[in-house]
Every structure is written in structure tokens, then in C-alpha cells.
A and B are shown apart, each in its own frame.
Chain A
Amino acid sequence: MADTNNRCTKEDEKKRFEYLDHPADVQIHSWGPDFKNALEAALLAMFNYMTDLDKIEEKYDMFYTAKGRDLETLIFATLDEALNTFQSEPFFIAKSVKITSFDEKTFEVKFCGWGDSFDLSKHPQEADIKAITYSNMQVLQKEDRCDIYVIVDI
């Protein structure tokens, strides 16, 4: 649904994510050479929408696991896990993430984030993401590229 005045910039191309139009919420579009990479980019896109990632230092790491029944439920669970560690103790925001394992049969991922606890005195406030939705969620997989579309509730 990207329209002509909404093409991603060079900067987006490097980050591998962009934000697309939706009437009330925001659609995250992320991509990468494979599903793992696209999912990593979606995680960063979510964190980046809430604050400016350039202002975050990599102070400590955080380990996560998420499990789904298919790719969609897996994306939902992964983003929900990460949103929860931001929205409650320790208010963790990741500057970089790495998916360390992805089991294509059981739809289970283990991933790790490097970042810091969100601190109002150091980090700018941007939009608050309320929840992840299945609304029009899409995973487009080709041989050398994977695209993920997910709408988050603002």
C-alpha cells in the first residue's frame, strides 16, 4: 500500500524498515535477505518508533524466547515479548537485536537485544505503542528477500 509519495529513502534502505500509512495506527514494513533478518528489522522499527535509537547506548543485553504456531503468530509473539520488557521493568529498549536461533518446524525463536533502560532524562519520548495486531499482517518470502508488514496500535 506504499503510495508514490511514500517510497522509502536511502536511510530506510540501510535500516531495512519504514513506516507506512494507516488511518489511526502505523504499519511497520521491514525486510531483509531472509525471515530472521526481516524480523530483526521489525523489532528495531518498533523500538525506534517509541524513542530515538541514536540516543540509546548498548549498556546491557537481554535474552528472549518467543513461540508461535505459524509465521504470523511467531511475529506477533516476538514483538509482544519485546514490547513487554519495554512497557514494564526493566523498561528495556534495544539499539540492536540478533536472532540467535530460529526453528522453522516449531516456530520458535531465541533472540538477544543490546540496549539500555529507558530514562526520561536521557531519551526522547516519541509515540507510545499500545499493542501488536494481526491486522493485515503479511510475510512475503522470496528466494533472496523477505518482507514483513505488521500494524501496531498507537
Chain B
Amino acid sequence: MPRTYEEECSYIDRLSDVKFQIKKGFVPNMNVEGRFYVNKNLEGLMFDELKQAVDGGGIGGFLPAVRQIANVASLPGIVGHSIGLPDIHSGYGFSIGNIAAFDVADPQSVISPGGVGFDINCGVRLLRTNLFESDVAPVKEQLVQSLFDHIPVGVGSRGAIPMGARDLIECLEMGMDWTLREGYSWAEDKEHCEEYGRMLQADASKVSMRAKKRGLPQLGTLGAGNHYAEVQVVDEIYNDHAASKMGIDEVGQVVVMLHCGSRGLGHQVATDALVEMERAMARDNIFVNDKQLACARISSKEGQDYLAGMAAAANFAWVNRSCITFCVRQAFSRVFDMSADDMDMQMIYDVSHNVAKMEEHLINGRPRRLCVHRKGATRAFPAHHPLIPVDYQLTGQPVLIGGSMGTCSYVLTGTDQGMVETFGTTCHGAGRALSRAKSRRSIPWDAVIEDLGKKNISIRIASPKLIMEEAPESYKNVTDVVDTCDAAGISKKAIKLRPIAVIKG
């Protein structure tokens, strides 16, 4: 007998203005409780989704995010809580915007490719310049065209960086050390990148031939969907000290934001791992509530192979973002007839929002080594954490939050509270609210273009249909998302950015 909506809601309690608890029993076998963070505006979306699923009687459709959080809470070896962030929406196995940590010392603990997502190490990178909006305004159209010409975008596009099979293997194992050696990155770039742009456990031999074949032509391409390159200006500074550490001193300063991932290579690594793990689950008698939560014991061969392959894909993503960074610097130099160095085009930071990492956290006051899955969630370590760069030791790690097309983006900083509550993690972006198909039907193409025109945003897009799918109306309001994290104390706002030019697949 399925539960009614009211019965379902009896398992969900409000803990504070922005924090909710999902009690054990909401789904079978929960090892820990669930938590999720939403403010008033986002709360409605979250509960509507659950209501729709209950009304639909479970036929067709998809699992609502709350139930996915609870299903993740039932995985073996999970510690703390299964946590949903404000930008959460239903995904494959894990919701997008779900964090789960597993105790590495516990032999039952698992790792799940569904907890990382298909686009391994999809992430955001922010470059600053010493230009101001008034410098860019007269040449904005040339600049956006130049960026569009320099960066390969959209489905079927191929990278401009010459690559052979041996180069690819080096990329996979060396990450940004490769782009540094080949002259695509600056030495300072590595310093301002999560993991310094290289995961050491990467093993290229754990990446299938098929994945490598997909990766080779796609290196240095932006991709499609929600990936983009944006020229933005600083709209508001909330924290002067943190902003100045990032090289942002004044409103109106121009920055460039990149959002992309590991392309076909990462997607194939995830696909291959899912197939392998299904087999391992049957062998090791791992039972899960939802068969999409394919996973393997961390210590098993499949688990270790996935960790090595995922790390290689993560390195590939950093190489990819670095190659695009190179293209961006070239495009700017061309348009302004100045070297990128003279324009101070330094990297502020580079964050990953689809990755699993081995980290030390305090559980009941004791340090534990955990395998932290962040899917659609960004690491946000506080000040003085040993894993963040020297420049940000006093401010906390910069967290880059990309908005939806035509809306603002944010730079946040990590907090001690986040370290305690969410394994040093915060939101990653706006998060979808409308389905792609619905966006195509309900949002008129010219209205989106007109709206961007009104806001004085130039756009270049490879696929015209995408413009409706990616319209701001299809997404949650990024300001609500960021404000919820700020109110919950898991990250603090530092800078608000507003786009002036967008390049998309």
C-alpha cells in the first residue's frame, strides 16, 4: 500500500529556516538520516516534485530528489548524513546536488559512479583581467566573435590542440602538469586549481580504448548542454578582503568564466564503470533500493579501477579547461592587441563539481578518512585548511557558482560551518527547474533573444534549439540557491558577477 503525500511528509521535519531532516524509515534500510537545504522559494519546488511522484503512483516518471537522498542514505558504509543542497534536482541514482561520504576504513563502504555523474570533473574556472566594462564595451561584438572562433563548441566539434595517442595517455596521467609542460598553462594556474590540476591516483590503463577514442578528438572543446564560456563583470563585492585576495578590487572589472568537463572520455569512463559494477554487486551481495545506484566496495578491484579511471578522467577535464583557457587568452590578446600577461589574465580558481575524493574529516570529533562523493556540489574548504592555496589561506577557498544563461554568477568562500555540516561542500549552480522538452515547448525563442538583448548580453550559440532549453526560466533562481547556502552558513558570498557575453554549445 503506497503512502499518501501527507504520510510521506511526516518523515520530513524542519530543523531551521533553511534546513530539513529526512528521518529513517522514509525508504527502507536507511543507515543515516537525510538532510536538505532549501529556502522558502525552493521549498515549494522540492515538495511539489514529491507530491507529483506520489500522485503519479510511481508509474513512469522519475524519482523525486528527496527520495533519491534517502536511497543514498541506505548505501553501505555511509557516514554523517546524505545531504541535498539547494540546487538539487532529480538525477541518475544520486540527485544532482547530493553529497555522500563513506568511511574508507569500513570494509562494507562503497564507491558509486552514480554519485559522481557522467561528466566526471565537470567544473568551473574563473579568470580575471585588469580590464573594465568600459574597455570591453566598444569591442564587445568582436570579442565574443573571437572567443566563438577560438573555442570549439557544440556537438561534433573537434579540438584545435594537436594530439596523438601518446599525448592523450600523458594528459590522463599528468593533468595540468602536461598543459604546463606543453606551454598551454601558466605556472600560476596550477597553484589556483583544486588538487593542483592533477589527481595522482590516475591510471590511464584503467581508461578503456573506447573512452580514449572519444576523448582524443574532443580535447579542448567546450561541449554542449549547460556548458559555456562567459565574459562577466563584477557587479557587487560583499567581502572586500576576500575579493582583493582574488585580485578583484572594483565593481566593473571584467572576468571570464568557463564551465565544462571531461567530455566524451569522462562519459565513457562512467558508462564502462556502471556496467562493471553491476556485475560486482551481484557477486558481493550488495543490495540497494534503486538499481541505478550501482556501486562497488571501495577496496574491490572494480572500486579501485573506477577510482583510477575517474582520476584520469578528472585530469582530462583539467587539461580540457586549460586548453580552453589558452584559447580565451589568445582571443583576448587578438582583440585588445596586448599580451594576456599584460591584461593580468590570471586564474582566480578552478573548482570541480562532479567528483569523488579521499579526504580527512572529523566524525564525532575523530579524524576519519572518507570517500566524499560530490555530484553537482562544490568543495568549499574553510580558511587555514591545508589543501587550499597559500593565497586563500586567510579567506577560505573560492567557490565558483555559475548561474543560468543571462543571469548572474557568484564567487563564495568556504566556511568552518560547512566543514562541520556538509563535509566542506556547498552548491554548484542554479539547478534545473523545468524539463528540457517543456522548455522547448513553452519558452519562445525570440523572447529569450529579446530578453538577452535588453540586458545587453551578446550571445553566440552553436545549436539554436538549446537557447530555449537553457533559458533562465528553465532553472532555479541562482540567487535563492546562493542565499540559502549563505543563510545556512555552509558558504559565504564574496562577489556577484553579471554576464555581458555568452558562448554556448
Contact call A125/B217, Cβ cutoff below 8 A: no
In the complex, the answer to whether B118 meets A130 with C-beta atoms within 8 Å is yes
Chain A residues engaging chain B, CB cutoff 8 angstroms: 1-2, 5-6, 19-26, 50-51, 80, 84, 86-89, 91, 118, 120, 123-136, 138, 149, 151, 153-154
Q: Which A residues are in CB contact (< 8 Å) with B252?
A: none
CA distance A135 to B434 in the complex (A): 18
Chain B residue nearest in CB terms to A25:
B436
Q: How many residue pairs, one in A and one in B, have C-beta atoms under 8 Å apart? A: 126
- B270, A154: Cβ atoms closer than 8 Å: no
Q: Is the CB of A24 within 8 A of B91?
A: yes
14 extra A-B contacts, CB within 8 A, seeds A118-B156, A128-B505: A21-B436, A23-B62, A24-B89, A24-B432, A84-B214, A87-B214, A89-B213, A127-B155, A127-B466, A128-B223, A128-B225, A131-B118, A134-B274, A135-B92
**Residues in A whose Cβ lies below 8 Å from that of B301:** none
Q: Which chain A residues lie closer than 8 Å to B434 at the CB level?
A: 23
Residues of B within 8 A of A (CB): 56, 59-62, 89-93, 96, 118-119, 154-157, 210, 213-214, 216-218, 223-225, 264, 267-268, 270-271, 274, 291-292, 432-438, 441, 462-463, 465-466, 469, 505
Contact B210 A51, beta carbon cutoff 8 Å: no
CB distance from A139 to the nearest CB of B (A): 13
User: Residues of A contacting B274 with CB < 8 Å?
Assistant: 134
Taking chain B's interface residues, is the majority helix, strand, or loop, or is none over half, making it mixed? loop
The 8 sampled A-B contact pairs (Cβ below 8 Å) are A1-B62, A2-B60, A24-B90, A24-B432, A26-B437, A123-B156, A129-B155, A135-B93
Cβ B118 vs Cβ A128 within 8 A: no
Could you tell me the distance in whole angstroms from the C-beta of A152 to the nearest C-beta in chain B? Answer: 10
Cross-chain contact of B156 among A1, A120, A132, A154 (Cβ < 8 A): A120
Complex interface: chain A residues within 8 A of B91 (CB): 24
B155-A128 in contact (CB<8A): yes
Verify B267–A84 contact, CB threshold 8 A.
Answer: no
Asked if B62 contacts A125 (CB within 8 A), the reply is no
Given A1-B56, A130-B118, A153-B267: A21 in contact with B156 (beta carbons within 8 A): no
Whether the Cβ atoms of B155 and A153 lie closer than 8 Å is: no
Q: Which residue of B lies closest to A117 (CB)?
A: B156
In the complex where A22-B62, A124-B463 touch, is A88 in contact with B156 (Cβ < 8 A)? Answer: no
* Chain B contacts for A120, CB-based, 8 A: 156-157
Complex alpha-carbon distance, A154 and B285, angstroms: 32
User: Would you call A84 and B213 a contact (CB within 8 A)?
Assistant: yes
Which chain A residues lie closer than 8 Å to B436 at the CB level? 21-22, 24-26, 127, 154
A3's nearest neighbour on chain B, judged by CB, is B438
Residues of B within 8 A of A2 (CB): 60
